[in-house]
Structure 1
């Protein structure tokens, strides 16, 4: 009986002294549910579409075919500017299989793209907001021509600073909530790796003739654009996202013209998560949504 009473006293002491201090640490330090930076909107998408690939380093012809793509995105609020700035982390990878107009040659193409940036959110109404900001835009990939002998492949490597904007609209159709988003990214300034016309990669990497293969880029020689239109439809604690992506990349550097025009329809899942010491829960009050 005496041991039982001692156990009760110890338990009450812990409840009185320890638990309140834990609550103060969570709220005061911004580590608890009151911290909006811990709420994350995450999506994973898969898609297929049409692509048009052109690279005069390999061929004077356009190659058209199919594009397979995967993307992963996270968005959350930050503490910048009184909590009105969100951060976006977006990764995508695609693989294309194309053929020329005469249908006597094929090519493979691939590109990995990573964007990381900040947007200031202008909440115009409770249901509609505009976002404006900038992104760090990193790209790397290849085009491989199946019939070329001397120069069968062309590398793609470039980095940009993009101007970016979004419009996000929360609406209801007969009490069914839908989220519509449109985003556009425009490269403003950057650097691109490109061999000179007729120069082999053997000359660049083995003989050291690398002068001028890294060029400054801007709208004048890399007029490119990425656009995405999406709709989120909720099913329980998860949302299904349907989206259309127009990825329009082109350049004219070192007398080599390239473009990759891709139009892709994608579908995937969106989850609203709360980060608690590496644990996650699907709870997200609307007042602190980044999305």
Structure 2
């Protein structure tokens, strides 16, 4: 398991990122011309709502030198659609998720509550490889806010989480059939490249920041050197009667080392929900 002490991404993930980037760059030479059918796809909106549960590992030296492990509850809402930009090759994604964690330390004498809301919004350029397989590459705005609350601390019982990033994002989408049964598989990875983060200095109270005005240096620039984080998601969409369901696995690793405070939240979450496909109404031209 990763620790915030070494602040490195797990080695098995690095080849995955490199492979995705290499495939995306090679796919740029295999672009297919846009068609009227592709432009018509800009009216199709795919929305998914999912609920899940999993395991989480929380660490924050502002509150405690110990790691806390426990359960993670999560809900997400996603919307994706093609646009008419760049000959209909750009897709727009909006992904919101919120999680609530309840964890306990290894000594089994203290608990924490944690919560984080995350919203990704951005664009991907689509590279069709075959009729049923395509790669996507793009960028996302990544907004995060939440807290960790330690049940035994009296002086500094809570730690706020607030940061904004610009992510590079890649996807692979594969539409296939298993004995004439349709199935859509998708893998997505989001890597924060740069951003800003709010963080008190080690030992500094929030009373000093907000009441006494000692706020110098509490907003810091972040990048891979002090916030090496990664989000991965694997989904499978399949029909059940007239409905379409989605199973998903999310591997979420958020970590930072800012103002002498080390933090991480590692989560493995399994989710399930329903997918809806809607068509936008055409705009009527005024005469």
Shared fold (TM-score, shorter chain, > 0.5): yes
For the residues of structure 2 that align with 1:225 and 1:251, how far apart are their CA atoms? 11
Matched, 1:97 2:102: yes
Deviation of the 1:275 alpha carbon:
2.2
Aligned to 1:128: 133
For the residues of structure 2 that align with 1:245 and 1:66, how far apart are their CA atoms? 14
More off after superposition, 230-239 vs 96-105: 230-239
Q: 1:44 aligns with which of 38, 42, 49?
A: 49
Aligned to 2:144: 139
Across the aligned residues of Structure 1 and Structure 2, the Cα RMSD in angstroms comes to 1.4
Deviation of the 1:233 alpha carbon:
1.0
Aligned to 2:239: 234
> Relative to structure 1, is the Cα distance of residues 72 and 66 closer, same or farther in structure 2, using a 3 angstrom cutoff?
same
Aligned to 1:181: 186
Matched, 1:271 2:245: no
Deviation by residue 1:121-142 (Cα, 9 ceiling, x = unmatched): 0010010000000000000000
Partner of 1:223, secondary structure, is: coil
For the residues of structure 1 that align with 2:244 and 2:204, how far apart are their CA atoms? 49
Deviation of the 1:80 alpha carbon:
1.0
Partner of 1:221, secondary structure, is: coil
For the residues of structure 1 that align with 2:119 and 2:244, how far apart are their CA atoms? 23
Is the CA contact (8 Å cut-off) linking 1:184 and 1:226 kept in structure 2? yes
Aligned to 1:155: 160
Matched, 1:71 2:87: no
Partner of 1:36, secondary structure, is: helix
Structure number with bigger Rg: 1
Q: 2:67 aligns with which of 45, 52, 62?
A: 62
Deviation by residue 1:144-195 (Cα, 9 ceiling, x = unmatched): 0000010000000000000000000001000001000000000000000000
Deviation by residue 1:43-100 (Cα, 9 ceiling, x = unmatched): 0000000000000000000000000000000000111110000000000000000000
The two structures have a TM-score, normalised by structure 2, of 0.84
For the residues of structure 2 that align with 1:207 and 1:35, how far apart are their CA atoms? 57
For the residues of structure 2 that align with 1:262 and 1:237, how far apart are their CA atoms? 33
Structure 2: gaps (5+ residues): 1-38
For the residues of structure 1 that align with 2:226 and 2:241, how far apart are their CA atoms? 47
Structure 1: gaps (5+ residues): 1-33, 279-291
Number of aligned positions between the proteins = 246
Q: 1:194 aligns with which of 193, 199, 207?
A: 199
Matched, 1:218 2:219: no
